[in-house]
């Protein structure tokens, strides 16, 4: 997984770890996004420690986007990325750090296991773009990249037309989407529909309490901050962006993915990060061949319930 942890990235890590045998989680790489690189790396190591997955090492990646200054999101994720939670207080055993960079780890693992690795990317795509630049054959060695990013038929969430991960590093998004790697896109069109509200949060907290699940209690605590942030922006319910990307990899039946040709705008500040899709009613042979499978439909309630169950954590982990 390539993450910018971030509240919903932390939830995505919990979902992936709780799915257990369905995912052989090989490594986690970090990229600056929701918070700066030091913070997202500290958060990621702490969440893996909380999950009792200190066996998985973390590689720190890009501290800034390829060509632009970093834009963080303290108003949604808190100043350090996990609301008001201090990651150092979460676990005595944070996951270890690789001595290599994220791009180096991605390239090395793909070289040793060609055709076997799927990357779930829930932050800006800077690390993947750097890895492709460093080692172009990487494109033919990855099985797939599942990306939480983009907005196809809906408005953006970080500009009128752009989703936050693509707006933060549009050049990287363009490189990855034109790399030839099989890409599955999980855009705002579906993630904005899978939300947790006060009732869902109370229910999660209650179940975490009943089970004595420290993982579930942590999920409820960060979600409380995240939900308040959404409510301050007059939105009822908080979108479960990043966990949905993991959920759809495990349960593709929860949505419908269509082949699309998606290009990313980079030049004009007004449109940077926008997904350009040719939706004109023109003969199919005039439409560019697809470069992504893109989820545009989701069974929203079923997906939300699937995710909420998994946020209680793996059986036996952190259960008091």
Binding site for ligand RIB (CB under 6 A): 4, 6, 8-9, 33-34, 122-123, 148, 157, 163-165, 241-242
Burial track 260-273 (b if 16+ CB lie within 10 A, e otherwise): bebbbbbeeeebbb
Q: Which stretch binds Ca ion (CB under 5 A): 39-47, 67-75, 115-123, 248-256?
A: 115-123
Bridge partners, 264 (sequence order):
275
Give the residue with the Cβ less far from Ca ion, 27 or 158.
158
Q: Which stretch binds Ca ion (CB under 5 A): 185-193, 236-244, 275-283, 287-295?
A: 236-244
Residue 157 contact among Ca ion, ligand RIB, none, beta carbon within 5 to 8 Å by kind: ligand RIB
Give the residue with the Cβ less far from ligand RIB, 46 or 148.
148
d(CA 279, CA 276): 9
Give the residue with the Cβ less far from ligand RIB, 104 or 163.
163
**Could you give the angle at the alpha carbon of 300 between the alpha carbons of 294 and 302, nearest 5°?**
115
Tokens found for residue 100 = 């290599």
Q: Which stretch binds Ca ion (CB under 5 A): 2-10, 36-44, 106-114, 223-231?
A: 2-10
Sort strands 183-186 and 292-298 into parallel, antiparallel or unpaired: parallel
d(CA 83, CA 74): 8
Residue 169 contact among ligand RIB, Ca ion, none, beta carbon within 5 to 8 Å by kind: none
SS3 state at 167? helix
Sort strands 255-260 and 292-298 into parallel, antiparallel or unpaired: antiparallel
d(CA 11, CA 16): 9
Does the footprint of Ca ion cover residue 163 (CB under 5 A)?
Answer: no
In whole angstroms, the minimum distance from the beta carbon of 122 to Ca ion comes to 4
Residue 164 contact among Ca ion, ligand RIB, none, beta carbon within 5 to 8 Å by kind: ligand RIB
Does the footprint of Ca ion cover residue 122 (CB under 5 A)?
Answer: yes
Q: Measuring CA to CA, which residue among 240, 227, 232 is closest to residue 201? A: 227
Give the residue with the Cβ less far from ligand RIB, 31 or 317.
31
Does the footprint of Ca ion cover residue 123 (CB under 5 A)?
Answer: yes
Q: Applying CB under 5 A, which of residues 1, 2, 6, 317 lies at the interface with Ca ion?
A: 6
Catalytic residue among 77, 233, 241, 261: 241
Decide if 77 is catalytic. Answer: no
Give the residue with the Cβ less far from ligand RIB, 107 or 310.
310
Contact, 248 vs 146, CB < 8 A? Answer: yes
SS3 state at 249? helix
Q: Which residues contact 293 (CB under 8 A, 6 or more apart)?
A: 182, 183, 184, 185, 257, 258, 259, 260
Tokens found for residue 29 = 């790489």
Tokens found for residue 141 = 């060695």
In whole angstroms, the minimum distance from the beta carbon of 281 to ligand RIB comes to 30
Site residues for Ca ion, window 8-27 (CB under 5 A)?
9
In whole angstroms, the minimum distance from the beta carbon of 175 to ligand RIB comes to 18
Residues that bind Ca ion (CB under 5 A): 4, 6, 9, 122-123, 242
Active site residues: 241
């Amino acid at each position: 997984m390539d993450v910018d942890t971030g509240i919903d990235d932390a939830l995505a890590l919990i979902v992936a770890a709780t799915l257990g045998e369905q995912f052989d989680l090989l490594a986690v790489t970090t990229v600056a996004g929701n918070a700066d690189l030091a913070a997202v790396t500290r958060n990621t190591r702490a969440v893996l420690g909380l999950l009792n997955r200190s066996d998985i090492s973390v590689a720190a990646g890009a501290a800034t986007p390829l060509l632009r200054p970093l834009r963080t999101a303290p108003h949604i994720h808190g100043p350090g990325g996990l609301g008001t939670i201090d990651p150092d207080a979460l676990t005595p055993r944070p996951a270890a750090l690789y001595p290599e960079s994220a791009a180096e780890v991605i390239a090395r693992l793909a070289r040793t296991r060609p055709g076997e690795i799927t990357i779930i990317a829930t932050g800006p795509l800077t690390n993947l773009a750097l890895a492709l630049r460093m080692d172009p054959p990487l494109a033919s060695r990855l099985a797939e990249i599942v990306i939480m990013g983009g907005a196809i038929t809906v408005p953006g969430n970080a500009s009128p037309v752009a989703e936050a991960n693509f707006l933060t590093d549009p050049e990287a998004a363009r490189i990855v989407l034109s790399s030839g790697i099989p890409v599955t896109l999980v855009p705002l069109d579906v993630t904005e529909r899978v939300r947790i509200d006060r009732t869902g949060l109370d229910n999660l907290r209650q179940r975490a309490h009943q089970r004595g699940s420290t993982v579930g209690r942590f999920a409820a605590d960060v979600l409380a901050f995240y939900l308040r942030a959404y409510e301050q922006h007059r939105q009822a319910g908080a979108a479960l962006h990043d966990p949905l990307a993991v959920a759809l990899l495990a349960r593709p039946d929860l949505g419908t993915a269509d082949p699309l040709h998606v290009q990313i705008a980079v030049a004009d500040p007004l449109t940077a990060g926008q997904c350009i899709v040719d939706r004109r009613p023109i003969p199919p042979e005039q439409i560019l061949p697809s470069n992504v499978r893109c989820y545009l439909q989701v069974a929203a309630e079923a997906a939300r319930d699937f995710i909420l169950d998994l946020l209680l954590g793996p059986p036996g982990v952190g259960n008091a």
